Amino acid sequence: MYPPDAWASDIAVSAALALFAAYLEFQPPFERNLVSETLHRVSFPHTGEQTFPTWTLPFLGVFIPLGIIFVASLAKSGYDRTRKGRETKRAVVGLLLAVTLGFAVTNALKNSVGAFRPDFKNRCWPGEAVVRWDFPGVPRCSADHDPRLVSEGRKSFPSGHASIAFSGLSFAAAVVAKRLGIGGQDVKQTRNKRNKTKIHNNAAWHLVATVSPLALAAWVSVSRVTDYMHHVEDVGGGAVIGIVSAVAAWVAKNPFREEEGGDDVAKKTVAKKPARVNKHTPTAAATRPRRRRGSDSTEDHAPAGTRR
């Protein structure tokens, strides 16, 4: 038996994580020293153009995965609507938990590590400005630099785009896989006229539908490298955080737990019918020897000549 769902507390935890992540978004990062020998790693051009701008993050992490979850809920016809509604509701709450958890962990690491973005040099010394240092490892940015851009240039690890995209889209992909029975969960067996068993495996489009959200998350991650916004290790770390957050939220909420042995299993248990009694079959009462009136067992077994 599973405990009842605590919808209010789940929403409250997700909201608290989102507020904490938003608070960290406006905090200054750790200012680590910039070694001059590694300056070439942060000397890529700063164009300001992004394949997936920041305003697309709510769509990548929340709205698109929500649409995928609702569409996937229509996958099975003839399914118990009440149970399907509870599963979809748990999936939505799990999605919010996965995204907000990954968002909070990512921003906490961004501010703690203070890693330089690939275009940090052109943020600190825009144009043809001469590279200057206050002290060894402490850059002195040019007078016309944008302090906000320089501060954001110290938040390279891990990638927030990769983390949010993988947390939401990985969770949505897991929902699709469960609905469509990917992994041999819904392999059906039928018999034809010759009484031969035929196995119906998952269709190819089931696999495509499951992998598509992950492909979108991978596209987002690769674009962060090609846009010179992150290093490869940044998007790799963000992807790991997103996937781990999705797995943790899935284990915590377990949207399809009733299908895996929850309360509905007890409801589906069919009571055994009592065995039918054949009227032509002698019962125990019918086969029991009859006693004569006025006699008992002692008289029947008494020696001859002793009866009264």
Q: Is-contact 89 252, C-beta < 8 A? A: no
- 3-state DSSP call for residue 110? helix
In 22-176, the DSSP E strands lie at: 132-135, 138-140
The token duo for 278 is: 């054949």
Whether residue 161 lies in the annotated active site: yes
Spell out the residues 6+ positions from residue 238 whose beta carbon is closer than 8 angstroms to its own.
106, 158, 159, 160, 161, 162, 163, 166, 221, 230
Q: Reply yes or no on whether 230 is catalytic.
A: yes
Catalytic residue among 46, 145, 206, 230: 230
Catalytic residue among 46, 145, 161, 231: 161
Catalytic residues: 161, 230
